[in-house]
Amino acid sequence: MKLSGADVIIECLKEQGVDTVFGYPGGQAIIIYDALYRARNEIRHILTSHEQGASHAADGYARATGKVGVCIATSGPGATNLVTGIATAYMDSVPMVAITGQVPTALLGKDSFQEVDITGITMPVTKHNFIVKDVTKLAQTIRRAFSIAKEGRPGPVLVDVCKDVTGAEVEYIPQKPDKDEYRSIKLTEITTDDFELAIQAINEAKRPLLLSGAGVGIAGAESEISELAENASIPVCTSLMGMGTFPGTHPLYTGMVGMHGTKASNYAVHSCDLLIVVGSRFSDRIVSNVSTFAPEAKIMHIDVDPAEVGKNVRVDYPLVGDIKRILKTLLKGLVYKKDTDWIKKILEWKEKYPLKYQKSDTILKPQYIIERIHELTKGDAIITTEVGQHQMWAAQYFKYSRFRQFISSGGLGTMGYGLGACIGAQLARPDKKIINIAGDGSFRMNCSELATAVEYKLPIIIALFNNKSLGMVRQWQELFFGGRFSQTSIDRGTDFAALAEAFGAKGINVNHPEQVDKAISSALSETYRPVLLNFEIDKDDKVFPIVPAGAGLNEVIDC
């Protein structure tokens, strides 16, 4: 049957099982939006307040489900407004397809109105991107975009479609996607000898440590990590992105590792004799000083992406391929252990150096708020965050029991990410309560997305940690720059609760510990509108522990 290019796009989205897209219309995407109008009973379009909000919402939708998130924008500024969200998804391996309208093919390269080379701009922050100038290639391009976004290490793909292509007619032949092709990760680079050496290393290690990253969750290998840890008595720490890949309440869990990791985790990395890193990329926030990182350990790196192995740190046992299959193979040769001296040492560190803060009956403490959110939601909420101190407190004090429960911008550190991601996650998981932990600096960047949440009657909660400053930068200025607080005060008199009410949401001010439970419970009871909880906290509250940039993990500052 013959269809317009725009209708081909819609049919391809339906082929891929897409039921929700996020976007903002414009001139070069208008034919796509006309097709979306006709398909409105089959594909739900969420109109955000800004294209960046659309990209973050698509990202949150993808992280909450594991499905490909989809966002749509027009050419020029519409497309460039997606770039921050695309880069966020790229850094954290999130499957996304961004579809942008482009000027007609005859106007390409002529500085036409709202023309921009979006494929050139996004090349460094996409797994791949396409510009479609021929309608006969449109369907195969859309299908290939989804395939690339899902296969191996996931990531974003951009498809730029010229306006005349969306209006041209073409013969469309339906096609069912091959659901198995996305897991067709080969183990051909791993020999039997490689496996035998790795198994021997695990069995002979006296002080082994597992570092579980997001790749574990993406591969669906959480049970294998738990089996490896429990059967061989190996303690487990996680990266920020790996939260929930190992239960936060498990006795073998030592907490997050790295700059704001627990002392137990950082001391374990510094003292272990075998570090087994699974699905994590050795970012600088984990490694800190490469020359002093895991100085007594052999390093085993299990990852799907060969480009990450050996990129940042030396690796003694590289195992590249499907994480779940690799772990299953390793488990076959495992020697069972329990009650080792190493475990006793780990438990001693956990008891001696717990996460702690100065509790108060009169002053509102951010750590206390996170603890109460965990308690009142029974640990079952999905948490999204903005970026800053609040993000680290959310990582430290909420005990995550499953992957996809903690949704945050890790690699890019995108302020303004959380609200859009919260919207996407709520639309993806209406069965769960979604709570965005935010700082006032991050929140004000994309607070207009409150209008989106109100429009679609989403019962999200924004827990706003309002310290009237750019808290993390201020903390660094105090600790490492002699207290010179350059441009980190943002006490602008904004009444955030009133702002929420102006958008049509519910706003609640909280400035005393006695008000916390009532405010959270009130927010949790809402079923049709967003609630903003404005928690007034002290600008001098800090995130501890902290490893100064460039220091060894054993040089952690505790207070």
- Let me know if 406 is a catalytic residue: no
User: Mapping DSSP to helix (H, G, I), strand (E, B) and coil, where does residue 303 land?
Assistant: strand
Catalytic residue of the set 113, 169, 457, 480: 113
Is residue 114 part of the annotated active site? The answer reads yes
Residue that is written with structure tokens 């936060």 in the block: 248
Q: How big is the CA angle at 303 (ends 549 and 255), to the nearest 5 degrees?
A: 50
What's the Cα-to-Cα distance from 553 to each of 258, 273, 446, 467, rounded to whole Å?
7, 15, 35, 29
d(CA 154, CA 90): 8
- Which of 127, 163, 365, 433 is flagged as catalytic? 163
AA identity, residue 89: A
Could you tell me the two tokens for 494?
């904004």
3-state SS record for 495-518:
CHHHHHHHHCCEEEEECCHHHHHH
Choose the catalytic residue: 11, 51, 308, 449: 51
163 catalytically annotated: yes
At 492, list the tokens: 């602008």
Residue 130: name the closest of 141, 143, 116 by CA. 141
Rounded Cα–Cα distance for residues 372 and 370 (Å): 5
Decide if 544 contacts 393 (C-beta within 8 A).
Answer: no
Among residues 14, 15, 67, 114, which one is catalytic? Answer: 114
Polymer length in residues for the chain: 559
In the annotation, is 472 catalytic? yes
Please give the radius of gyration of the chain, using alpha carbons only, rounded to the nearest integer. 24
Nearest Cα neighbor of 215 from 294, 127, 326, 293 is 326
Helix (H, G, I), strand (E, B) or coil at 375: helix
User: Alpha helix (H) ranges present in 67-137?
Assistant: 77-80, 83-91, 118-122
Contact 545, 262 (CB under 8 A): yes
- DSSP code for 151: S
Catalytic residue among 293, 472, 475, 506: 472
Report d(CA 355, CA 371) in Å as an integer: 12
Tokens of 212: 């579980």
Cβ partners under 8 Å of residue 53, min gap 6: 22, 419, 420, 423, 446, 448, 449, 452
**Residues marked as catalytic:** 51, 113-114, 163, 472
